[in-house]
Structure 1
Amino acid sequence: MSVKYKITRLASQICPPVMLPLLRKAYRASIGRSVVFNPGQQNLDVYWDPVMEQVLETWGEGNVWSEIQLALAGRQGRVLDIACGTGKTMEVLSGEPSLELWGCDISDRLIDRAIERGIHPERVHVGDATKLPYPDGFFDFSFSIGSIEHFTEDGIAAMLAECRRVTRVMAFHTHPVSRRGDNEGWITTAQSYFNNSVDWWLPKYQAQFQHVRVLNSLWSDERSEGRWFVCS
C-alpha cells in the first residue's frame, strides 16, 4: 500500500464527504502535470480512491453511456465490460434483456461496489485485464470505456490481445485522443494516461483485429476528444 493511498484513505475517514472533492482538487493543483513518453508502470492507487469511486458513478452521463447502449442495442449474447469499475455501465446496460453482462476490474474496492449495486458476484472478477481468466471466445462482445489509455504500451498490447482472444464477434473501446492531433505522451494529472493521436492508436488495434473503425464520441475535455475504436 503506497503512502499516497494511505493518506487518501485517512482523509476519507476524518473529513466530511463534501470536503473530499475540494481536497482532491487542491492536491491535483499542488502536483501539477508531468509528461513522459514511455512509462514504466501504471499508477494504480487511484482505483482505491473514494473520490474516484464517486466520479465513476456519473462521468459517462450524456455521452459514452448513451453510446454503448446504442452500440449494443438489439444484440444478444455474453458481454464483457473490461475495467468495469463500480459496475455502473453494466447497470446502465441491464435494460437490454438479451445481454448477459460480465465485468472485471483490478480494484477489489470497485468490484465490491459493483456487487453492492446488485451485479451478480459470479459475473464480476477482480484481476488484471492483461491476463483475463476466461476461455477463448467466451464472450460475443466486449468493451472498455475510458480505460485502455491508462495502461502502459506493453499493457495496451497485452490487453488488446486478451480482448481479441476472449471476444468472438466485436469489441468496442472508447478513450481520449489528443484534441490537437499530436502525440503528447503519457500525462499525469488526476490519473496517468496517454493523450496521443488516432494515428498512434490505430496500429495497436490493427495488430489484433482485422477490421477497425474509428468513430467520434460526444465525450471531450479541454485537452482531448473521445473516439470509439470498433473492432471485429
Structure 2
Amino acid sequence: MNVESLKVNKQSWDEVAHRFYGRNPLPEYGPLAPREDELNLFGDVTDLKILDIGCGSGHSLQYMSKRNAGELWGIDLSKKQIDAAKLVLDNCNSPVSLFESPMEENPGIPEDYFDSVYSIYALGWTTDLDKTLANVNNYLKKGGMFIFSWEHPLHSRVSNKDDVLAVTKSYHEEGPYNHEAWDHPAIMQQYRISTYMNSLINNGFKIEKMIEDVCLTDEDVHRHANRWYSFEKAKAIPTTIIIKSQKL
C-alpha cells in the first residue's frame, strides 16, 4: 500500500467530490458503456447484503435500495464523498453502514458476510490490487459475486486528435500514473486486462463474464463531443471493462 499516493488522492477527492456528485452511478457502469438494465449482472438483489467499494456519493447504493437490497454498506477514501453518501442514503429503507477508509484496508467490515460486492469506476484507484481483491474475497460469502467496472486499459493508451487514433503509450506498461484528464493531482493505476483477470483468479475468484462493449446513441454524439470519453474514440476503442466474478 502506497501511503503517499493515498494521501494525495484523498486530498484531491475531498477537493473535487462535488464535481462527481451522482456521476455515472448504477445502473450505469461507465461512460458510453452498457447499463445494468441491459446486462442484468446482479439479478434480483432483494434482501441481499451489498457492499460498494469506492461508494462515492452513494447513488449506486441508493439504486440498490430502490431494488430492495437488504443491507447497504460502503467504503470510500474521501470524507467529502462519505458525507455526501450519508445525506443521499438518509431516507433509505435498508440499513446503511459507511466507512471512510482506503479500500486496501478493512476498517471493520464483516467477513464471509456479503452476497454481493461491487465497484463502479473505482478499482483503478487502488494502490495494491492484490490486497484490495483479497479484502473483497474475505468480505464475500462463498459463492458471492464481485462485479466491477473501470476505464478500459487501452483507452488511455490511445489518443484521438483530429479524428486520427494513435498509440501514445505502451499497453504493456503498468503501474501508477497521473491521469491527464484530471486538473488535480491524481495517482491512478494502469493494469492490463490479463493482470485484472489473473489477480482475481489468484485471490480466489472464478471469472464469469467480461464485457467491453460500447453503447452509442444519437444523444451521445453531442453529449460526449470533445470529452475524455468521446463518441468518436469510443467507436474504435472501448471506454470501459466490466468483469463479473464469483468467490470460490
Instruction: Using structure 2 for the length normalisation, give the TM-score.
Output: 0.66
* Residue in structure 2 matched with residue 231 of structure 1 by the alignment: 245
Please give the alpha-carbon distance, in whole angstroms, between the structure 2 residues aligned to 1:103 and 1:117.
12
RMSD (Å) for aligned C-alpha atoms:
2.9
Query: Is structure 2 residue 212 aligned with structure 1 residue 216?
Result: yes
Task: Tell me by how many angstroms 1:136 deviates.
Answer: 1.8
% identity of equivalent residues:
16
* Residue in structure 2 matched with residue 125 of structure 1 by the alignment: 99
Task: Tell me by how many angstroms 1:129 deviates.
Answer: 1.7
Please give the alpha-carbon distance, in whole angstroms, between the structure 2 residues aligned to 1:215 and 1:80.
21
Distance change in 2, residues 1:211/1:130 (3 Å): same
Task: Tell me by how many angstroms 1:62 deviates.
Answer: 7.5
- Segments of structure 2 that go 5 or more residues without pairing to the other structure are 158-169, 216-227
Contact 2:58 2:84 (C-alpha < 8 Å) held by counterparts:
yes
What is the count of residue pairs matched by the alignment? 192
Query: Is structure 2 residue 40 aligned with structure 1 residue 74?
Result: no
Distance change in 2, residues 1:39/1:137 (3 Å): closer
What code does the residue aligned with 1:201 have?
A: Y
Q: Deviations over 1:64-91 (max 9, x none)?
A: 1773463223133100011101101112
- Match of 1:92, SS state, is helix
- Match of 1:125, SS state, is strand
* Residue in structure 2 matched with residue 48 of structure 1 by the alignment: 14
- Match of 1:73, SS state, is coil
Instruction: Using structure 1 for the length normalisation, give the TM-score.
Output: 0.71
What code does the residue aligned with 1:197 have?
A: R
Query: Is structure 2 residue 120 aligned with structure 1 residue 145?
Result: yes
* Residue in structure 2 matched with residue 187 of structure 1 by the alignment: 177
Any residues of structure 2 matched to 1:29-108 within 5 Å, and which? Answer: 41-42=5-6, 43-44=8-9, 45-49=11-15, 51-60=16-25, 63-64=28-29, 67-68=35-36, 70-76=40-46, 77-108=48-79
More helix by share: 1
* Residue in structure 2 matched with residue 172 of structure 1 by the alignment: 147
Distance change in 2, residues 1:217/1:113 (3 Å): farther
What code does the residue aligned with 1:52 have?
A: A
What code does the residue aligned with 2:29 have?
A: V
Please give the alpha-carbon distance, in whole angstroms, between the structure 2 residues aligned to 1:196 and 1:130.
17
Contact 1:63 1:218 (C-alpha < 8 Å) held by counterparts:
no
Task: Tell me by how many angstroms 1:163 deviates.
Answer: 0.3
Please give the alpha-carbon distance, in whole angstroms, between the structure 2 residues aligned to 1:231 and 1:202.
9
Q: Deviations over 1:126-148 (max 9, x none)?
A: 22222221222111110011111
What code does the residue aligned with 2:140 have?
A: T
* Residue in structure 2 matched with residue 202 of structure 1 by the alignment: 197
1:112 to 83, 88, 100: 83
